[in-house]
Amino acid sequence: MKQRAWFACLVLTVVPAGFQPWLGDQPVGGVSRFVSGDRLVFPDEYRQWVWLSSGLGMSYEASAADKDPIFTNVFADPASYRAFEKTGHWPDGTTLVLEEREAVSHGSINRAGHYQGALRGIVVETREPSRSHGKWMFYNFGLSTKPVDAIPEWAQCYSCHAKNGAVDNTFVQFYPTLLEIARQKHTVR
């Protein structure tokens, strides 16, 4: 009996969070996986997900020129990307990854501008699945791949995304191909 309870607990905690057969035809994103309740598992395969766009040295505050700008690369899990293509919205279970990399100027034959170097950190944004319909949460992995708790909800990322995201809680205004889709679907707010 003990063994069965343990097994049920394991299934409940590691079952893919996007697996929600009761939603029927509603698009379901999702590869987010959680352990021990609320800790998010690192999305190992994100580099093979759908890349949305990259920026360099982006800042939401006017400031002096950044002498050490970083590249910010954004990826979406493929199922949620396909749902966005169809509807212009992100489904429950959506997982977006923000990868930060250093910007390198001189190397090989390159003499000007910047290309990408070492990893600086990973932040993940999820649209929570069954537990809290439609709620967006942030997770900061840094340079680790161990499961992490969500960033506390008083952090600035929550209020800034909620206020300024072009579609739902997300900065689609900075992803040119998604912005085109959202305009066609009239989902830009």
> Where does this chain bind a second copy (CB under 8 A)?
47-48, 50-51, 53-63, 65-66, 69, 71, 73, 75, 78, 81, 101, 103, 107-119, 160, 164, 166, 171, 173-177
Cα distances (Å, whole numbers) of residue 41 to 57, 75, 88, 165: 28, 16, 27, 25
User: Which contiguous run of DSSP H or E holds residue 184?
Assistant: helix 176-184
Token pair of 94 as six digits: 């959506």
Q: Using the minimum distance from each CB to a second copy, give the nearer residue, 71 or 90.
A: 71
Q: Using the minimum distance from each CB to a second copy, give the nearer residue, 22 or 60.
A: 60
Q: Using the minimum distance from each CB to a second copy, give the nearer residue, 23 or 55.
A: 55
Q: Using the minimum distance from each CB to a second copy, give the nearer residue, 30 or 129.
A: 30
Cβ atoms of residues 139 and 148 within 8 Å: yes
Q: Using the minimum distance from each CB to a second copy, give the nearer residue, 60 or 154.
A: 60
Cα distances (Å, whole numbers) of residue 32 to 81, 124, 125, 141: 14, 10, 10, 14
Q: How far is the CB of 118 from a second copy (least distance, A)?
A: 7
Q: How far is the CB of 67 from a second copy (least distance, A)?
A: 12
Listed residue (141, 149, 152, 127) closest to 36, CA to CA = 149
Q: How far is the CB of 45 from a second copy (least distance, A)?
A: 11
User: Which contiguous run of DSSP H or E holds residue 39?
Assistant: strand 39-40
Q: How far is the CB of 4 from a second copy (least distance, A)?
A: 39
